[in-house]
Amino acid sequence: MLEQLEPKSVFSYFEKICSIPHGSGNIQGISNYLVGFAKERNLEYIQDEVYNVIIKKEASKGYENKEPVILQGHMDMVAVKKPGCSINLLTDPLDVRTKGDFIYAEGTSLGGDDGIAVAYALALLDSKDIPHPPLEVIITVEEEVGMEGALAIDLSSLKGKRMLNIDSEKEGELTVSCAGGVRVNGILPVQWENIPEEFYGVEITLTGLMGGHSGVEIHKNRGNANILMGKVLKELSEKVHVVLTALEGGTKDNAIPREAKATVFFPKSELENCEKIVKAIEKKLKEAHEETDRELRILYQEVKKQPEQKALEETSMEKLIKLLSTVPNGVQSMSQKLEGLVETSLNLGIMLLKEEEFSTAFSLRSSVVSQKEALRDKITDILDSVGGTYSFSGDYPAWEYKEESPLRDTFIKVYEGMYGKKPTVLSVHAGLECGILAGKIKDLDSVSFGPDMENIHTTEEKLLISSTKRVWEFLLALLKAL
């Protein structure tokens, strides 16, 4: 599908990457492919026990004495699909397509974040005529689920002090710092009881939300399906005697959930009343989210009681609803130093009612350590109050702004020379691996950039073809200047 696009080498490798399943937690195949790529070209490589890969290439002729440059990206993607999509994201290739100036994947996310960084790196490593200093390519794993690869990787063999992180989604923007974050995993123990014989069951599906990246798009105040389903259950339980048998929503802690489902049972005499209440709730939610989630809707479908099916006992259901109703969500504070920058946020990305527990996963981000700790403590206090437990994972530091950065200065100079204007230099709320890697390489000087992408971490993800070409040309000019 992409063989006619320029630059051919970049898009050829991007399509190859899309043919190898590489969602977070399913990265052994793509990691082994990278090792095979290095072996075929006699390039020095390291593959560690968690499947991070480092590949090194000697400088092109005339650049042998130049300082090495580190290229960095991650191999895992947020793998999500539309309801009804037949693609198995664990085993099947993506259905990559083009439309106008965009590349997308039919029915699923595309993985431009961060497959395009890997494609750029492979095209450079495979080249024979591109001038460049010594290259040290770092391709990490599990970035999307807590930056676990960056936390685990050993960089003691690297000599470079200048790092180009290709993990930003807007051409012309130069990212120089980012928020830190942590995942909070909550567990609420639950008890079950029999469903009364005369009760009638329905599945309530809250769907049609925009979703998005919980760092890049959290400021857009899009509806969170998990939080909104909590509102539905709270209001419904206050007006009708309902019992809950199933609840789930979201697939990634760092993606704003687009859909949530709940199955409830209630007295058959309340059938008409219950449907009327749900429709009234739907109307209120649509009005509240008219500007952000115009396709929001609540589907209401009869389900039959299954043999041995149980419902949450009353206390467990009350605690679950209290948790969903009281936990904060979305933007918590804005930066006082940088106008328009989110300082602290929270996203309830996953919830699932299991046999013995109700599990939740929150993505917490902040550029201020004390604010991150305060919000983390607030979540754990709420979990404590309903008898829940908690654990933390993927705790990563903020990437702090450097007052002096020769790499940043060179980037700006090359950009001005090519486009006649300065790039936008900014800090972002989304997490990047630069802060972690800076703690492993003394005096590391790093910047982050990338081509235009839209709706990353969603099934509407798009990669702009012309932007990918321009950023490639800029990358080559930057390496030459370095």
Q: With contact defined as beta carbons under 8 Å apart, do 459 and 109 qualify? A: yes
Mind spelling out the 3-state secondary structure of 383-417? HHHCCCEEEEEEEECCECCCCCCHHHHHHHHHHHH
The maximal CA–CA distance of the chain, rounded, in angstroms, is 84
Degrees (nearest 5) of the Cα angle 455, 456, 462?
A: 65
Give CA–CA dist 162/135, Å, rounded.
Answer: 10
Q: Of 76, 217, 282, 433, which residue is the catalytic one?
A: 76
Instruction: Based on the residue annotation, tell me whether 143 is a catalytic residue of this protein.
Output: yes
In 3D space, the residue among 178, 158, 141, 78 whose CA is nearest the CA of residue 435 turns out to be: 178
**Which residue in the block uniquely carries the two structure tokens 């919980």?**
214
| Sign for the pseudo-dihedral over CA of 25, 31, 148, 340 | negative
Phi-psi region of 172 (alpha: psi -120 to 50; beta: other; left: phi over 0): left
Q: How many CB atoms lie within 10 A of CB 384?
A: 12
* Bond before 68 cis per omega within 30 degrees: no
Q: Of 15, 114, 136, 143, which residue is the catalytic one?
A: 143
Instruction: Based on the residue annotation, tell me whether 473 is a catalytic residue of this protein.
Output: no
Collapsing DSSP to helix, strand or coil, 482 comes out as coil
For residue 239, what is the enclosing H or E element? helix 225-239
Give CA–CA dist 175/164, Å, rounded.
Answer: 11
CB contact set of 250 (below 8 Å; sequence gap of 6+): 225, 226, 257, 259, 260, 348, 349, 350, 351, 361
Give CA–CA dist 126/380, Å, rounded.
Answer: 49
Mind spelling out the 3-state secondary structure of 45-111? EEECCCCCEEEEECCCCCCCCCCCEEEEEECCECCCECCCCCCCCCCCCCCEEEECCEEEECCECCC
End-to-end CA distance of the chain: 34
Give the active site residues. Answer: 76, 143
